[in-house]
Each structure stands twice: as structure tokens, then as C-alpha cells.
Structure 1
Amino acid sequence: MNLTCNSTLEEMMISPGSEVKIAGPLNFHDLARIIAAGSTLISVVLSSYLIWMHATHYTQPREQRFIIRILFMVPVYSITSFMQIQWYWHAIYFNLLGSCIEAFVLASFYGLICHYCAPDLHTQKEFFRHLHPIKPWVMPINWLAKWFGGEKGPWRTPKSGLTWFNIIWISVYQYCFILVAMTATAVITQHFHKYCESSNSPVFAHVWVLVINAVSVTIAMYCLIQFYLQLTTPLAEHKLFIKILAIKLVVFLSFWQSAIISLATSGLNLVHANDVLAYPDIKVGIPSLLLCVEMTLLAVLHIWAFPYQIYRDNAGRRAFYPDSDPLKPNASPIEKRWGQPSGGFLGIRALMDACNPWDFVKGFGRGMRWLFVGVKKRKQDVSYMPGNRHDDNLRMDDMQGIKSADPSPHFAALQDPTLTQYHGIQGGVKAPDESVGLISHAQPNPLAGAASPPSAYTSTNPYRPAYADDPVYDPPPYGGAAASHPYESPSIPRPSRSGSSPSGRH
């Protein structure tokens, strides 16, 4: 077995006069540089303008930070592709640098859709906990589910929307870690001459990095498509199709197009160096030139896929987040607040916010925590409780009439007279992964504590004022969020004076 790299770009420089002229005084390499430079200039200008407009109309930071991150991919790919053509002998480093953004673009798109559904992690989990119906996996997973175990096999559709949400989560965020790890591996092995991009031999790192990245990006992209198909209807106003099209095109063009060209030139030897095309032109010049031109077209597509006008025109207006189950009675959607522009001078604060990678680190950490710890406890979640009308989500109205003999471990919580305010869609004790801000602005529920608050009728209630025991004291009617005692609940009858009926006043 050959343990040496047959050729490297450093050793195969294009010498002057080695290529024939194909356009006046220009050979292929010179022509490719001119076209790539012009395409890069156009794409960078268009993308920079759109990024700047979002940054200066930063009225929805929770959404727009992800949009700005997505928009960064076009100038990054364009610039690194041009640098590969110009300095082709160092193309491997520029290629790895540009590819790093791909995983963060996918994670940003996932985060954007999550924030279209709900404003923070706590409400996002509630949204997906009550998601109905959960669509079956698209092919080929649905085929595997039929062949291996059906609804009891490993490829089944989760019964809980929260479990489904967590599966998508870790499938997307794993790519961020894998791509960074593989990029570091490629740089290190290239330094020690063990990468050999020109070879697909298993004795070099190139083929292994390529295969691992291919598996990882396929999982992430598959789950993003499943995520898109599930939420197409409730998020119809956001026009997700054109957004995911822009993302899929970048992934295909940046990874699969380059992989196909590499296989055709190195593995199948379909194209050989000649008087017109030198080896660096085949290996680097053609795929990089294609990317530069394609990024220009994508920069134009992004103007329609991620417009800034809706954030400019809706500043200060009221809107509402979608409901996960449109058939749910008495739904009370969460208000979507449009603030005033908060991007700072020339949008600098917004750009700094978008460039902060810490939420990707926390997102991957939360995903790994669920994969190794939370998955074992997933059936303790309220969405797995019996009596569930649809078998995949829990309706709070199904809990009415539950008996004291019910063996459910959640029965004690259901009997708490403060259930209305502290459990269910708008409240509940927060899980540990929600209180550390694993998604940007995942703020704790201000009404949720570490445990359910004391009952209004216990003598040890620290929130019960002394004058409440006065037999002549008549508290005011419950006023919802404006009540004088925040731990009252409309489900708790108010104490009455002697001789008065429980349901009214004299």
C-alpha cells in the first residue's frame, strides 16, 4: 500500500506560460480569478447591505441574530473561495475556514424556527410538548420503521412532541461539534503531511474527514427538513420554503458539489491535467469558481428569503406566536412584542450580538445532557401521562375528574390548589436546562419557583397576611395578574364572613 501522498498543491505550482491562452491574453487561471473577484464583490456588497439593514432595524433580537448569522455565510464562502483561487497552494486552509460556518448556519436556521414558535426555551418546550399531530419521519426513516419493529422499534415516531423536539435539537447541534472537530483534525494532519486532499486512500485523513462530515451533515439536514415539514402550516406566514431552500442550496453547493468534483478528479480520474487546465485548476480552481458565482445568486435570493422590511414596518406593533395545536379549545396565544430598534450605532451592537458563539456551545451542551441523561427520564414528562387524548400530547382538560386512587406519580401535583397559575402551558417548575440560558434569552418564568407555592389555607403560609384571619375581613375579588396576592388562584374559593354562602357575598 502506498503510504506517501502522490502530489500536493504546494509542489504543483502553475508556472508562467504552462497554460495556453483561452481569452485573449488570459489563460484559465487568470480568467477564473477575474470572474471570481467580480462575483465576490457583488455578493459581499449585497449581503453586507442586507446585514446592515437588519442590524439597524433590530426590533426582534431573538430572531434577527439568527438571520444575521445566516446572511454571513454568503460573504464568508465568497471570500474564502476567491482566496483559494488566488492562493491555491494554501487552499486547504481557506476551504476549512469557509466550511466551518456551514454547521453554524444550520444551527442558526434551527434556532430561528424555534423562535418563530415561541420566545424562549421554556415556552418552546411547552409549544412542542403539546404539538399535535406529530408527522411520521420522512423517507428513508419511515421505511426503516416499517421494516424494523414498527411503532415499538428504534425508528418509531416519538409519542411526545417534546421528545421529538429534543431529537431534532441534538441532531442539529451535533454537526457544530463534528465539523469543528473535523476541521481541527484536517489542519493538524495537513501540517504533518497526513491529510493529502488529492488522495482518497484510507491511509490518509482526507477520506475519513470527508465521510464523517458527510454522515453528520446528512443527519442534521434530514432533521431540519423534518422540522420544516412539521411546522410548515403553523409558520406559514414566515415563508419557510424559500428560507430552507437557501440553506439547502448552500449545503449542497459547499459540501456535496465539492465532494463530487473531488471524487470525479481523484477517485474516478474523469478529468486530467492538460495544456488548458493545470492540476490546481481542476482540484481547486473549478469548484471555487463555481462557488463564487453561485454565492452571487444566493445573495440575491436572500433578499427575498430574509427581508428586513417586516422588522422595520412592524416596530411597536402587536403580534402573536402560533399555537402548537389549532384544535385546542380556549387557546391563548403568547403575544409577540415588537420593540424599538436596539442595534446600537450603525448596528454595531446587533453585529456583536450575532457574532457571539456562546449560545451554540450551550445548545450543544444541552443536547448532550439530554442524550445521555434526559433521554432516560423522558417518560416522566407530563406529555407521557395516561389519559392523553391524542396519545402524543397532553390536554390539561383531560385531568378534570381524576380520582385520588390514581397511581400516577403526578397526582399530588394535580391536587395542588395553585395548579392554574403554576403548572401547564404558562408555568410550572423549570427544568435545570432552562435556567442557564441554553438558547438566547431563555429567561425563567417570573411566576415559577423551585417548587409549587404554599397553599392559601395552610397556617404556615408565609405569604398569608395576619389580617386574613380576621372574621370580618373580606378580600377583594381575584383580579388575575393584577391581584393583590400573586399566589391566589381562580380555582381557590375566597373565605367568606359568617353566614355568607361560599359562592357569593351579602
Structure 2
Amino acid sequence: MPAHLAPDASENFVGNFTFHQFNMILSGACTGITCLVIFIVMGRHATHLSDPNQQVKIMRIATLFPLYTIYSLLSICFPNAYVYLVGWTKLFQGIALYWFLMLLCDFVTPNDQHRAEFFASLRVPKRYSTTKTTDGLSWLKSTWYFVLQYPIVSFILAIAQSITQALGIYCLEGKKAYFAHLWITIIGIISLGMAMVNILRFHGNLKSHMKEHKPMMKLLAFKLVVGLEFLEQCAEPLTNKQIVFMVLDATGALKPSDTLSYADIIIGLPTLIICLQVVPFAFLFYHAYSIKPYTKMNVKRSGDSQQYLAVVDSETGGPRVKRYQGGPLGVNAWIALFNPGELFRDIRSTYKMFHASKTEPTMSLDS
């Protein structure tokens, strides 16, 4: 690859605009629409915060969309920074996948204590077997680790990608074994694939316990974005192109010309597609993660951010009176959203739950 990518072609693409300028305008408009839709979703949940445990997780999942498009837009504006930026979008995906798994767990059971009891009494079919089963708690632990590894691996790969690019051994279009691009891409595909398979299996085994939450719609709204990225990554090591460009590349339509620069083809066009495809998914997310379940009757406002009430009463097992706990303009929800310590706190809490379940007397699951 050239050491420095020239973003603008020699001739204009539309009117007085080069393709790079046109791309920035169109991708910027898509990014603006996506951010507006998602911020409306997040704002509505923040100001109608009756179940912080679930709704803050929804807000965290939603941040994937604006971060994804903003980083894509920055890659279009500054093509020479693309390699340094694109690796971190995988980290955002990994964190969002983790919160999605924990949201599904919240749909099944409201807290760690009930969660351990529920899964300890559950029998799950073993992988690749229709007759043998395993205990639900061990299966949940395995699923949790398989999903958690993806943000960890993505973080390491993002750093490795930046370092190898700076050293000149990454090579975005290189598919030889001595270029880091091939190995980083393959490791990322395997890591993402393991996380996705385990989340899909989790949903498949427990969908009957989450019917009222419409998990399939939520799964599609979130997973289609990650799924398309996964398919595009799978094609990249062999073709150096995303799937959507394989046909065009085969016909010779995608070649540098007076109106398309090398940077437009290798970075601008694929990234434009990302910005375009996220827009409809943002509207689907708005519909799938509606605030209606959190704004039902008997809602009372409460400004006490320390007294977060669960939707299910831990003593009676019945529904509690829902209260809005977000504070003025949902400030409490926004503080919780942008607190990076919440991720590590949740990981530690879940790990302690698994550790505590080991120390307790083993129950007979067959009785």
C-alpha cells in the first residue's frame, strides 16, 4: 500500500465535489440520522428509568450504533487513520455483545442469587448431542466465558493492529502469511464466531422463558449489524474485499480512475456501505427496544438514584410498583451509562456468582 493515501481523485464525481467530498457528506448525513435515532432511544429510556438493571444495559448496547458510524465517518475523512481506527470498532462490538448476553440473563432472572438457583435447576442439551444434557449453571458459565473473550481479544488485536501498522508490517491489502493483517483478521473472525454462536445457542435454549420480552426482535435489531460485519470479515482474508464488493471487483468495475482514488476504493466505498446499512438498523433498534414495557400503569416518579427498585419484588415474587429513577433529564441513567467501572463491576459480580456456586453443597439435579 502507498505510505500516504491521497483522498481526492483528480476529477470531480458530482458537480464541484470529488467522490471523497461527496462520501463525507452522505456518510455524515447517515451518521447524523443514526445518532439522532439512537439518542432518542437512549433519552427515552433515561427519562423513563423504571428498571435500571435492564434499561441501562439497553443504553449501553445502543452506543454501538453511534460509535460505529462515527468511527466509520472519521475513517472516510482521514483515510490514513483508517487502520488505527477500525480495530476499535470491534472492541465496541465485543462490549455490546457482552451487555446483550447480560440483558438476556436479566430477562430470565432479575439478580445473581435467583440466576444461580434457576440455572442450577436447568438441564441443557449438550452441544452436538440430542440425548445427553449438562447442568445449566456450567453451561451458563461456559457461554459467559465464550462471550467475554471477544472484547478481550478485540482489545488486544486493536493494539496489535496499530503497532504493526506503525511498523509497516500490517498491510491492509496483504494476505501473505508474513503480514499481520491476515492473522489479526482470522483471529478476530474466530473470536467473534465463538461469541455469536454461544449467544444464539443461549437464545435458542431459553427463548421460551423470554417470550414477553420479544427476544427475537431484539436479537435481530442488534445482531444484524454484527452479523453483516462478521460475513464481511469472513470474505476479507481470501478476497481482500468485503462481500458486497466481490462481484464488482470481479467485473473490474472497482479500479482507480480519474473520479475514484485508491483510498476511495479500499476505504471510502466499504465504509460508506457501513454508514448506509446502520441507518435502517437504528430504526429497527428503536422499535425493538421500545420503552413501552417500562412505562405501564402505576408509575410514580422518584428522584432518589440510590434506591433503585427492581421490577420483581424479591420477597413476594410479584411485580413491584414501577418508579422513574432517572432523575432530571435522566441524569442518573447517563452517569451509569458513562461509568466505565460498571463493566468491570458486572464481570466481577458474575464471576463471584460462579465461584459461590462451587462452594455451596451440590444439589441433586436429577431429583
Q: Does 1:301 align with 2:294?
A: no
Counterpart among 85, 102, 123 of residue 94 in structure 1: 85
Matched residue, 2:190: 215
* Cα distance change of structure 1 residues 266 and 176 upon mapping to structure 2, 3 Å threshold: closer
Return the letter of the residue paired with 2:194: I
Counterpart among 34, 37, 45 of residue 43 in structure 1: 34
Q: Does 1:245 align with 2:220?
A: yes
Higher relative contact order (CA 8 A, sep 6+): 2
Return the letter of the residue paired with 1:206: H
Return the letter of the residue paired with 2:226: V
CA distance in structure 2 between the partners assigned to 1:195 and 1:311 by the alignment: 47
Query: Contact 1:177–1:364 (CA<8 Å) still a contact in 2?
Result: no
Deviations 1:166-210 (A, max 9, x none): 111111111121111111221222222232222122222222211
* Cα distance change of structure 1 residues 241 and 192 upon mapping to structure 2, 3 Å threshold: same
Q: Does 1:382 align with 2:357?
A: no
Query: Contact 1:107–1:173 (CA<8 Å) still a contact in 2?
Result: yes
Unaligned runs of 5+ in 1: 1-6, 152-156, 322-331, 390-506
Q: For the aligned residues, what is the CA RMSD?
A: 3.0
Q: Does 1:175 align with 2:150?
A: yes
* Cα distance change of structure 1 residues 38 and 383 upon mapping to structure 2, 3 Å threshold: farther
CA distance in structure 2 between the partners assigned to 1:210 and 1:380 by the alignment: 44
Query: Contact 1:55–1:346 (CA<8 Å) still a contact in 2?
Result: yes
Matched residue, 2:273: 290
CA distance in structure 2 between the partners assigned to 1:305 and 1:206 by the alignment: 36
Matched residue, 1:162: 137
* Cα distance change of structure 1 residues 366 and 349 upon mapping to structure 2, 3 Å threshold: closer
Query: Contact 1:84–1:91 (CA<8 Å) still a contact in 2?
Result: yes
* Cα distance change of structure 1 residues 161 and 184 upon mapping to structure 2, 3 Å threshold: same
Query: Contact 1:57–1:312 (CA<8 Å) still a contact in 2?
Result: yes
Q: How does 1:248-397 map to 2 (within 5 A)?
A: 248-258=223-233, 260=235, 263-265=238-240, 270=250, 271-314=254-297, 316=299, 334-362=317-345, 364=347, 381-384=362-365, 388-389=366-367
Query: Contact 1:56–1:347 (CA<8 Å) still a contact in 2?
Result: yes
Q: Secondary structure at the match of 1:97?
A: helix
Query: Contact 2:46–2:331 (CA<8 Å) still a contact in 1?
Result: yes
CA distance in structure 2 between the partners assigned to 1:302 and 1:222 by the alignment: 21
* Cα distance change of structure 1 residues 81 and 343 upon mapping to structure 2, 3 Å threshold: same
The percentage of counterpart residues that share the same residue type is: 26
Query: Contact 1:174–1:364 (CA<8 Å) still a contact in 2?
Result: no
Counterpart among 104, 110, 113 of residue 119 in structure 1: 110
TM-score by length of 1: 0.62
Query: Contact 1:316–1:339 (CA<8 Å) still a contact in 2?
Result: yes
Matched residue, 1:13: 6
Unaligned runs of 5+ in 2: 301-309
Query: Contact 1:262–1:283 (CA<8 Å) still a contact in 2?
Result: no
Which protein has the larger Cα radius of gyration, Structure 1 or Structure 2?
Answer: 1
Return the letter of the residue paired with 1:55: A
Query: Contact 1:320–1:336 (CA<8 Å) still a contact in 2?
Result: yes
Query: Contact 1:253–1:291 (CA<8 Å) still a contact in 2?
Result: no
CA distance in structure 2 between the partners assigned to 1:315 and 1:76 by the alignment: 36
Return the letter of the residue paired with 1:26: F
Matched residue, 2:307: none
* Cα distance change of structure 1 residues 290 and 378 upon mapping to structure 2, 3 Å threshold: farther
* Cα distance change of structure 1 residues 383 and 167 upon mapping to structure 2, 3 Å threshold: farther
Return the letter of the residue paired with 1:12: L
Return the letter of the residue paired with 1:382: M
Q: Does 1:69 align with 2:60?
A: yes
Report the Cα offset of residue 263 of structure 1: 4.3
Return the letter of the residue paired with 1:200: K
* Cα distance change of structure 1 residues 204 and 265 upon mapping to structure 2, 3 Å threshold: closer
* Cα distance change of structure 1 residues 314 and 255 upon mapping to structure 2, 3 Å threshold: farther
CA distance in structure 1 between the partners assigned to 2:117 and 2:126 by the alignment: 20
* Cα distance change of structure 1 residues 378 and 203 upon mapping to structure 2, 3 Å threshold: farther
Report the Cα offset of residue 109 of structure 1: 0.7
Report the Cα offset of residue 72 of structure 1: 0.8
CA distance in structure 1 between the partners assigned to 2:163 and 2:37 by the alignment: 35
CA distance in structure 1 between the partners assigned to 2:353 and 2:291 by the alignment: 35
